[in-house]
Chain A
Amino acid sequence: MSYFSEDATERFHERDNRVHNSIARENPDEPLFEALSNYKGSYEEARFDGKSIDETFRDMLAKV
């Protein structure tokens, strides 16, 4: 086994910190559930076998 070379530690130090590939949040201080409560959109328009997502959830709850 060899020691770490000086080059390797230099390259490591020069390398940028990893930048996450996810898209940053526009308003990080807004509570998530505030945003979700105010959201009306494609969630309500989506259909699973002709039923809305919330209708699908209601069916699931009825079967619990």
Chain B
Amino acid sequence: MKNIKDYPKYEKISKEQIELMAAAFNRYLGNMRETLGVNKEDVAFCEEALLEIIELVWKRHIYFQVFHKLNGLNELKEASLYCFWILKMQPFAWLNAVKPNYKLNSIIALQIFTKGLYFYAEKKGKKVNMNKLTFEELYYSFRYRDWSKEAIMDLASSLIIQ
């Protein structure tokens, strides 16, 4: 019989690991900013919150590894989790502009979610079932409705079709 203390304990994400992931995230955000035509001086993010988000998603990665006999989260679920935590923690903010930050955070969350959908669908030889209406509904929903991590992951799966 195993006792609780026989099971492994979570070890904080290593400095090297989080640096690697933060650098990749930063590069992605830089590309996104350029693609969406946002000036570098116009938007900032809370480093503490983003690092925490990276670790929270990493923990879920480990959870899947341990409990679901899988090699961590697939990319669709991971993108969904980033989407959830950005909506929750609102790490992005406008600088020098009187604009609502919650809309900015919803757009960034939706961009990551959408990119994750297309990336995953293409990798699996499938398609994304999304049109302008779905897109606008999601944007509204991400701003005003309640979402759970699991609901966003399930939503993502339901938008992938043969």
Contact = CB atoms under 8 A, between A and B. Distances in A.
Interface of A: 17-20, 22-25, 28, 31-37, 39, 41-43, 46, 48-49, 53-54, 56-58, 60-61, 64
5 contacts: A31-B25, A33-B24, A36-B115, A43-B119, A46-B118
Given A22-B74, A64-B100, 17 more contacts: A23-B74, A28-B71, A32-B82, A32-B116, A34-B24, A34-B27, A35-B75, A35-B119, A36-B112, A37-B27, A37-B28, A39-B122, A43-B118, A53-B114, A56-B135, A57-B110, A64-B107
Given A17-B69, A53-B114, A36 B35 contact: no
A28 B69 CA distance: 13
B132 A22 contact: no
B124 interface: yes
A56 B111 CA distance: 10
A8 to B, nearest CB: 19
Contacts of A32: 24, 75, 78-79, 82, 116
B149 to A, nearest CB: 14
B118 A23 contact: no
A25 B72 contact: yes
B121 interface: yes
A39 B132 contact: no
Contact of A61 (B21, B36, B73, B74): B36
Residue among B20, B36, B121, B128 facing the most chain A CB atoms (10 A cut-off):
B36
A43 B31 CA distance: 14
B79 A20 contact: no
A42 B121 contact: yes
Contacts of B35: 54
A54 B75 contact: no
A53 B37 CA distance: 13
B103 interface: yes
A56 B72 CA distance: 32
Nearest to A23: B74
Given A37-B28, A49-B132, A64-B99, A19 B69 contact: yes
A35 to B, nearest CB: 6
